[in-house]
Amino acid sequence: MDWLIEGEFLLTTGYSFREYPELMQSLIPRMGQANSAALAIKTKRYMNEIPNDIIKCANEHGIPLLEVPYDLSFSEIIAPILGVVFNKQNKILQKLEQAHKKLMDLALNGSPLEELCKETGKLISNPVAIVDRDGVLIVNDDCPDKYKFDLFYSDGSVEIKKEKLRFGNIKEVKYSLELASDSDKPLTIKAIRIPIIADKYQYGNIVAIVNNYIFEPDILTLERAATIAALEFTKRKAIYEIEKSYYGDFLEILLSCDFDNVGEVINRGKVFNIDLELPTAVILLNDSSFNEIDEIKRYMDINGSRSKESLLKEINAFLRNECEYNLIAGIKGNNIVVVTGVNKMSPLTSLKETVNDLVEYLQRSTRTNIPVNVGVGKAYSDIRKINRSYEEAREALKIAQLSERSNVIFFDNLGFYKILSEKNRTELERFVEELLHPVFEYDRNKKGDLIKTLETYYETNRNLKLTSTRLYTHYNTVLYRIKKIEELTGVSLDNPESALNLEIAINILKLFRNSTI
């Protein structure tokens, strides 16, 4: 009873029930629960006849009950059934052969993934799409059910059921039911998702919306389509790696200034769609959550994402969508390097617009959701000074990495922070803690605003009246707080040297909190 499965036709001589006929009444309800096909009993051997209680129980549970004549052997029953099964399997193989031929023609002709979805949909009589690992939906434009895929992957959809199916020797596939809003009424969408995997790397899923019943050959066809999609993704990845290598080599030559002929470099830049005759600046981006060990783990994880790669792809997507921008990007070490040409008439304004638009695009992107630090070097008219812009971007990025949140920092705006870039965060935190520890303790214990007052005091160029105005606090209160700070730190604000140390500590503290400079 524990091994009953749906659609199973049971044959018995009644041997198992010869001494305990009441057990058969336990079997039939279990067959009803498993949705078994029928029960056939061979009488006149161990059971003279089928008891009326068994007939009544079978009727109650909707189980067809057959009596097998004594002179009919089981092999005579099984042989024609096996013939039916064989014919069914033969038809499945024929259908699969046709599907395989069609899909292989698409693969050999280099058809796009949209065409693969279209033809696979025709073969299984259900709409088919591909969703890559970045969540991009790939479906042919003529698909009338595209809106269902959009709903299926929308933020409003809720998974209400997930099952695992197994057809013969096929690996398990996930069968999902999701609920999505459609006007005022909920819409239930059934879908089958099969992973697209090659060389232990998952590129996404091939998805079929189940409008019509899915048969075993349809699942096999989807699996073969997933294999062909994996080949296409592998080809794209290889092309991308080659392109990335070309861009990386060119950027290496450019940033190291390892060239003698400026004209030749400018001409090579045109191949990469960048005009190096314009003033040129370097932008460095770094995933603020980057960790070398985590990066290795993500690389080895079949479903993991590689943040640098994702970030570079998003920057390239920005370049494709905003084609008026004059820039190239590549990976150098742990950073993304962007070289951009800017307007000759207003280079700084042009550079800021490019950086702001790029950062806003990355922040809007739902595919990466990667917090970044950004360091921006100055723009130079002479391409031979681009390595100077690169070093400036590195210095700016160092300061950005000291901050607790993502930062966009221009080298032009660093000021005295250029000195701080030579120190690591631990040293700077120790400097701040040693000087301001008693003030922190006072604010913590008394719920005071001494730190905020000191920040405002320096922001207003030590103007007590303006400080009180900005803090909406009485002048005497501000004066009391300043004296309290002097008392706690042992620093006289009239002493230029010690006052400067306090101002530097406050600015370091602000640096760790601010998002931009």
Of 104 and 65, the one with more pLDDT: 65
Do 202 and 164 lie in one domain? The reply is yes
Residue 32 in any domain: the answer is: yes
Q: What residues make up the domain containing 450? A: 425-513
Residue 409's CATH number: 3.30.70.270
Q: Is the pLDDT of residue 181 over 70?
A: no
- For residues 378-399, give the mean pLDDT: 88
Do 313 and 362 lie in one domain? The reply is yes
Q: State how many domains the chain has.
A: 4
Tally of CB atoms within 10 A around 185: 6
Q: Of 272, 204, 193, which Cα lies nearest the Cα of 234?
A: 204
Residue 77 in any domain: the answer is: no
- For residues 93-107, give the mean pLDDT: 83
Do 68 and 129 lie in one domain? The reply is no
Residue 249 in any domain: the answer is: no
Residue 87 in any domain: the answer is: no
Quickly state the pLDDT bin for 338 (edges 50, 70, 90).
very high
Do 157 and 278 lie in one domain? The reply is no
Do 268 and 387 lie in one domain? The reply is yes
Q: Which token pair is 312? A: 């570079």
Do 221 and 138 lie in one domain? The reply is yes
pLDDT at 56: 92
Quickly state the pLDDT bin for 177 (edges 50, 70, 90).
low
Give the domain-ending residue among 370, 394, 414. 414
Do 265 and 404 lie in one domain? The reply is yes
What are the backbone angles phi and psi of residue 472, rounded to the nearest 5°? 55, 45
Kindly report, residue by residue over 266-291, the tens digit of the pLDDT. 998 888 888 889 999 999 988 655 44
Q: Is the pLDDT of residue 491 over 90?
A: no
- For residues 85-114, give the mean pLDDT: 84
Residue 489's CATH number: 1.10.10.2840
pLDDT at 296: 40
Q: Which token pair is 58? A: 């079978």
Do 311 and 432 lie in one domain? The reply is no
151-160, 341-350, 480-489 — which is least confidently predicted?
151-160
Q: Is the pLDDT of residue 301 over 60?
A: no
Do 302 and 354 lie in one domain? The reply is yes
Do 21 and 58 lie in one domain? The reply is yes
Contacts of 300 (CB under 8 A, 6+ apart): none
pLDDT at 427: 75
Give the domain-ending residue among 395, 414, 433. 414
Residue 95 in any domain: the answer is: no
Instruction: Find where tokens 């592998």 sit.
Output: 234
Residue 247 in any domain: the answer is: no
Give the Cα separation of 141 and 362 in Å (integer).
27
Q: Of 415, 511, 497, which Cα lies nearest the Cα of 455?
A: 511
Q: Which token pair is 403? A: 């901050």
Contacts of the segment 151-154: beta carbons below 8 A, 24+ positions apart: 151/180, 151/181, 151/182, 151/187, 151/189, 152/178, 152/180, 152/189, 152/191, 152/207, 152/209, 154/180
Do 223 and 271 lie in one domain? The reply is no
What are the backbone angles phi and psi of residue 177, rounded to the nearest 5°? -120, 125
Do 264 and 384 lie in one domain? The reply is yes
What's this model's pTM, rounded to 2 decimal places?
0.56
Q: Is the pLDDT of residue 366 over 70?
A: no
Residue 229's CATH number: 3.30.450.40
Give the domain-ending residue among 362, 380, 414. 414
Kindly report, residue by residue over 17-71, the tens digit of the pLDDT. 877 777 888 889 999 999 999 999 998 888 888 888 889 999 999 999 999 998 8
Q: Is the pLDDT of residue 299 over 80?
A: no
Residue 507 in any domain: the answer is: yes
Residue 170 in any domain: the answer is: yes
